[in-house]
């Protein structure tokens, strides 16, 4: 029975390596999103080049400016999403496969990538997701038409809720510290 138990435990322990498929897929998704966001930057620069056109009327310039700002927000959103996928891939690898020795020796590794528990991975991902939600809200706010006091009130309430979420996120960080 002892030999069978050891064999089963070996197979069970080795099964954690199936996570490598998720790590690789997450890395591919991250690289794809970095590519998409970078292509968006190229298109953004093409639009910005037209902004200095002296033949552009005031209304057309305002429309181009609004489209450019919206496009910039989309670029930020794309890079943040790519970052989530990268953090997720590195976190899964560290939790289930092996420590990333080079990250431990890097001055940036501990600040950004070293994941010590599932809660740590969840917290790091939650912070980036919150940033994406803030960017999405900002993008939505740019498209809003403020035709009444109620519209402005809704915008103000949304901003207050975002501020509260960020504040509570920082408060929780202080409570998670060991005593």
Q: Give the pLDDT score at 110.
A: 66
Residue 52 lies in a domain: yes
Residue 84 CA to chain centroid, in angstroms?
A: 4
Phi, psi (5° rounding) for residue 82? -60, -40
Residue 92 lies in a domain: yes
Residue 174 lies in a domain: no
Q: Give the pLDDT score at 109.
A: 67
DSSP 108: T
Q: Give the pLDDT score at 20.
A: 92
pTM metric for this prediction: 0.70
pLDDT tens, the chain, 179 aa long = 698 888 888 898 888 889 999 999 999 999 999 999 999 999 888 888 877 778 877 788 778 887 888 788 889 889 988 988 998 898 888 888 888 777 777 777 666 666 677 777 777 777 777 777 777 777 777 777 777 788 778 878 888 888 887 787 776 555 544 43
Burial of 139 (0-12, 13-18, 19+ CB in 10 A): middle
Residue 177 lies in a domain: no
Residue 121 lies in a domain: yes
Per-residue three-class SS string for 110-166:
HHHCCCCCHHHHHHHHHHHHHHHHHHHHHHHHHHCCCCCHHHHHHHHHHHHHHHHHH
Residue 62 lies in a domain: yes
Cα 59 from Cα 68, distance rounded (Å): 14
Structural domains counted in the chain: 1
DSSP codes of every residue in 26-69: HHHHHHHHHHHHHHHHHHHHHHHHGGG-TT--HHHHHHHHHHHH
Q: What range defines the domain where residue 49 resides?
A: 18-143
Residue 161 lies in a domain: no
Q: Give the pLDDT score at 53.
A: 79
């Amino acid at each position: 029975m002892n030999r069978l138990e050891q064999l089963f435990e070996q197979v069970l322990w080795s099964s954690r390596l199936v996570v490598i498929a998720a790590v690789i897929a997450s890395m591919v998704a991250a690289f794809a999103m970095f590519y998409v966001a970078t292509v968006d930057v190229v298109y953004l620069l093409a639009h910005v080049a037209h902004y200095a056109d002296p033949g552009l009327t005031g209304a057309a310039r305002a429309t181009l400016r609004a489209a450019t700002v919206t496009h910039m927000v989309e670029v930020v959103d794309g890079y943040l999403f790519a970052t989530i996928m990268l953090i997720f891939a590195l976190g899964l690898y560290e939790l289930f496969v092996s420590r990333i020795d080079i990250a431990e020796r890097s001055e940036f590794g501990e600040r950004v990538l070293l994941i010590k528990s599932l809660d740590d991975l969840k917290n790091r991902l939650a912070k980036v997701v919150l940033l994406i939600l803030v960017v999405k809200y900002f993008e939505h706010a740019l498209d809003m038409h403020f035709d009444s006091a109620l519209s402005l009130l809704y915008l103000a309430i949304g901003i207050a809720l975002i501020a509260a979420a960020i504040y509570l996120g920082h408060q929780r960080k202080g409570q998670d510290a060991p005593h």
